[in-house]
C-alpha cells in the first residue's frame, strides 16, 4: 500500500515540475478597436500577438458584433 502512495506522489511531482518548466505564452501586443453604427450595433476588432517559449509568434484577430437589445 505504501509503495502505491510513493509511486503516485512521485508521478505527481514529475508532472508538476514539467508544467513549471514548460512555461506559458507571452503576450507581446494587444489592440482593440470598437465602432458603433447608427442602429446601435457595436463592432469590436481585437488583434493579439503572442510568443511561445520556443520563440515562435502567433497573430490572432477576432471580430465581434453586438446587436442592441430589442425594445418591448
Q: Which residue is associated with the grid cell 500500500?
A: 1
Burial pattern 45-56, b for ≥16 Cβ within 10 A else e, equals eeeeebeeeeee
Report pLDDT for 71.
66
Report pLDDT for 62.
92
C-alpha dist (Å) from residue 58 to 32, 45, 48, 53, 55: 17, 17, 8, 12, 10
* pLDDT 10s digits, 3-44: 888 888 788 877 776 666 566 778 889 999 999 888 888 899
Amino acid at each position: 500500500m505504501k509503495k502505491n502512495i510513493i509511486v503516485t506522489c512521485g508521478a505527481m511531482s514529475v508532472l508538476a515540475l514539467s508544467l513549471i518548466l514548460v512555461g506559458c505564452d507571452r503576450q507581446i501586443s494587444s489592440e482593440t478597436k470598437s465602432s458603433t453604427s447608427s442602429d446601435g450595433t457595436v463592432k469590436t476588432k481585437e488583434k493579439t500577438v503572442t510568443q511561445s517559449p520556443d520563440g515562435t509568434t502567433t497573430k490572432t484577430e477576432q471580430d465581434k458584433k453586438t446587436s442592441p437589445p430589442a425594445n418591448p
